[in-house]
Amino acid sequence: MNREGHGNFVGAVKPQSMHFDQPLSFRSGTMLREYDLAYETYGTLNADGSNAVLVCHALNASHHVAGWYENEPDNIGWWDNMIGPGKPLDTRHFFVIGVNNLGGCFGSTGPATLNPETGKPYGSSFPVVTVQDWVEAQTRLADRLGIKRFAAVMGGSLGAMQALQWTISHPERVANAVVVAAAPKLSAQNIAFNEVARQAITTDPDFHGGDFYEHGVVPKRGLRLARMIGHITYLSDDAMMEKFGRTLRSGSINYHFDVDFEVESYLRHQGDKFAEYFDANTYLLITRALDYFDPARDSGDNLTSAMAAATARFLVVSFTSDWRFSPERSREIVKALLDNRRHVSYAEVDAPHGHDAFLLEDPRYHALVRSFFEQVHARL
């Protein structure tokens, strides 16, 4: 990608950090006395603070949503194709915020952070976080940035769940919500995949019950397996077949348990890379937040009742080949909104890439988001 000579890139950005010393209580009953949130912003907040868009991240992403870092020009934000001047979420019109969730490992307070009370990393003592907790932490960031009401809250996958939760917990603070590749709760199979990933991490002898920091080791074997399992669920069977087929790395079968097929090489590489930079406790926390997300639970398992609080206008997008959160799951959300006579646009995009499609630059998908934000802008 040639980043020079293009007008539609956010360009070089700087991550910021905000300290909060008002204690935050978690759904689990525990609390943090103080914490930091790492975040980035793109574009300019207008005078009445009405053009802010919060972009929530999914499992392994961060606050680095768009642009790149001056000293790391290849470290491009995970949704850079979506956000920038002239892009679907146009930073000439909107003030966009990315925030690393609590429990994360990219700058916000998380399990690897030193607990000021003990001087040691939180490790296993870090609170189990929920999507609701993240939203509460995000409201405080919004308060400090002077944002009373977001023009939109937006996310894909787990990020979309946060957008949904915003519309339920703080309907008065969300004018619009963009909910991409989501589900109103995990299925048993979704939980099962998360559980195997967690078991891979917690049974790694280097995990030490979550307090591996003090032992100077990292449960890389477990993290690597967790990432490999996750990766299979992000791609469609067809996309994998298209990308790798049964291609043999050396051209012939070698009758061993080392890499023979390209897909094996790819998975090992993805796993190795991930284990180098991701925190094992963060992986546990984030998959658990996914498992526990279930807004209908407090409304007698009735999603329509749960969504009754929401007043935002919605764009809901799913992808035909997504078998992790299939279109059927998005239609459950759409139905609950329609039951409540809410304003909702729904699109099922015919894309071959599986769950990962939400991160890719599909023209039809991007045109939908662009059109939605043009209307949001027109109503500002």
Active site residues: 157, 322, 355
Instruction: Name the H helices within 150-236.
Output: 158-169, 188-202, 220-234
**Helix, strand, or coil here: 265?**
helix
Q: Which is nearer to a copy of itself, 80 or 294 (CB)?
A: 294
Provide the minimum distance between the beta carbon of 371 and a copy of itself in the complex, in angstroms, as a whole number.
32
The Cα 138–Cα 111 span in angstroms is: 18
**Helix, strand, or coil here: 223?**
helix
Residue of the chain from 149, 249, 268, 366 that contacts a copy of itself (CB under 8 A): 268
Q: How many of the chain's residues bind a copy of itself (CB under 8 A)?
A: 54
Is position 186 an interface residue for a copy of itself (rule: CB under 8 A)?
Answer: yes
Residue of the chain from 98, 110, 121, 271 that contacts a copy of itself (CB under 8 A): 271
Give the pair of three-digit tokens for residue 287. 């998959």
> Under 8 Å CB-to-CB from 130, ≥6 apart: which residues?
26, 27, 28, 289, 292, 293
Is position 37 an interface residue for a copy of itself (rule: CB under 8 A)?
Answer: no
List, as one string, the DSSP characters of 268-300.
HHHHHHHHHH--HHHHHHHHHHHHH--GGGGGT
The window from 60-68, 96-104, 107-115, 225-233 that contacts a copy of itself (CB under 8 A) reads: 225-233
Residue of the chain from 232, 308, 309, 360 that contacts a copy of itself (CB under 8 A): 232
- Within 333-372, which residues bind a copy of itself (CB under 8 A)? none
Is position 135 an interface residue for a copy of itself (rule: CB under 8 A)?
Answer: no
The Cα 92–Cα 85 span in angstroms is: 5
Do the Cβ atoms of 214 and 220 come closer than 8 Å? no
Within 10 angstroms of residue 307's Cβ, the number of other Cβ atoms is: 25
The window from 72-80, 156-164, 251-259, 358-366 that contacts a copy of itself (CB under 8 A) reads: 251-259
Do the Cβ atoms of 175 and 149 come closer than 8 Å? yes
Residue of the chain from 36, 195, 332, 339 that contacts a copy of itself (CB under 8 A): 195
Q: Which is nearer to a copy of itself, 203 or 311 (CB)?
A: 203
Alpha carbon of 344 to those of 179, 317, 333: distances in Å?
10, 11, 10
Is position 47 an interface residue for a copy of itself (rule: CB under 8 A)?
Answer: no
Q: Which is nearer to a copy of itself, 208 or 366 (CB)?
A: 208
Q: Which is nearer to a copy of itself, 50 or 299 (CB)?
A: 299
Q: Which is nearer to a copy of itself, 232 or 338 (CB)?
A: 232
140 phi, psi to nearest 5 deg: -70, -40
Residue of the chain from 260, 279, 356, 362 that contacts a copy of itself (CB under 8 A): 260
The window from 28-36, 96-104, 343-351, 368-376 that contacts a copy of itself (CB under 8 A) reads: 28-36
State the helix-helix crossing angle for 220-234 and 188-202, rounded to 10 degrees: 160
The Cα 256–Cα 204 span in angstroms is: 25
Interface residues toward a copy of itself, by CB under 8 A? 27-30, 128, 185-189, 191-193, 195-196, 198-200, 202-205, 221, 224-225, 228-229, 231-232, 235, 237, 240-241, 243-246, 253, 255-257, 260-261, 263-264, 267-268, 271, 284, 288, 291-292, 294, 323
